[in-house]
Amino acid sequence: MKIPVSIIVPTCNAGESFYQFAEMIKKQTANIKQVLIIDSSSTDQTVSIAEEFGFDVEVIVRKKFGHGKTRQYALEKVNTEIVVFLTQDALLVDEFAIENLVKYLNEDEKISAVYGRQLPYPNTGILGSFARLYNYPEISKVNCYEDKDFKGIKTAFLSDSFSAYKKSLLLEIGGFPKNISFGEDTYVAAKFLMKGFKTGYCADAMVYHAHDYSLNQEYERNKEIGKFHKQEHWLLDTFGKAEGEGLKFVISEAKYLLKNGKWYMLPVAFMHNVVKFFGYKVGYCK
């Protein structure tokens, strides 16, 4: 018998594409016992679409949403040991996505959490596409605490856009932090590793999920990362600073653009990376 699974999705004005999102959940081969939607007072059809597909829905006041505290609130409302988190804009690629993610999570009792591969949509721009290919490669892997010596801060990378947790282990480390507005997935991944557990990445479990960020969006996002790293400075003390990983990204991106004949995008990529760096520094120094 397949392992029972709960799915948690925070939503806010998910739009018409949420219908396709819900259809793909219904097509999954995994043993899904519950789909819980925590909706931040949407003004579109998000709630009615969720109810049409038989999902459980709870509406919260939008200003009370928090990436950590809302996920913790939802976690305590589901009853299965395996809990999958999705964001409303992460579209499952096929009917085996969740089953593959859960299988990988259970390959080793020490694996506490696993995240899946994120692919760019066909219409994603080249910079957004590269970011997905760089962060979500074709080969699965398992991380442990000792990996920090050569993987650095990347050791604690995990994405709640598509991830699965063992609830008992998550609660053992204190659950999701309620006092941070960004980076709850990295936070718990680091806590797991420091407790001697492992985290995983399953390349066979896939979603479409990508963003073509504007310069302002790049600035605001990286400002949040900087604020997060300052608030939770133990992350950098334990796993290393983020700047080294950022430099690797910039070099890899330039090579990717040249390899694909997109040399004319180098100035655009440079500007985006400058803005990201500046945003990070502003957030960290505030």
pLDDT per residue rounded down to tens, the chain (286 residues): 689 999 999 999 999 999 999 999 999 999 999 999 999 999 999 999 999 999 999 999 999 999 999 999 999 999 999 999 999 999 999 999 999 999 999 999 999 999 999 999 999 999 999 999 999 999 999 999 999 998 889 999 999 999 999 999 999 999 999 888 889 999 999 999 999 999 999 999 999 999 999 999 999 999 999 999 999 999 999 998 766 777 889 999 999 999 999 999 999 999 999 999 999 999 999 7
Q: Is 119 left (phi over 0), alpha (psi -120 to 50) or beta?
A: beta
Burial class (CB in 10 A: 0-12, 13-18, 19+), 139: exposed
Given this model, what pLDDT does residue 241 score?
76
Phi first, then psi, for residue 193 (nearest 5°) are -65, -40
Given this model, what pLDDT does residue 254 score?
95
Separation CA 42–CA 54 (nearest Å): 18
Strands 4-11 and 82-86, by their bridges, are parallel
Given this model, what pLDDT does residue 247 score?
83
Separation CA 254–CA 162 (nearest Å): 28
Sign of the Cα torsion 93, 98, 99, 105 reads positive
Separation CA 166–CA 114 (nearest Å): 9
Say if residues 92 and 28 touch (Cβ distance below 8 Å).
Answer: yes
Domains and CATH numbers, the chain: 4-208 (3.90.550.10), 215-285 (no CATH)
Say if residues 87 and 40 touch (Cβ distance below 8 Å).
Answer: no
* The total number of residues written for the chain in this structure: 286
Distances from the Cα of 185 to the Cα of 47, 69, 123, 176, angstroms = 25, 12, 27, 8
pTM over 0.75: yes
Burial class (CB in 10 A: 0-12, 13-18, 19+), 280: buried
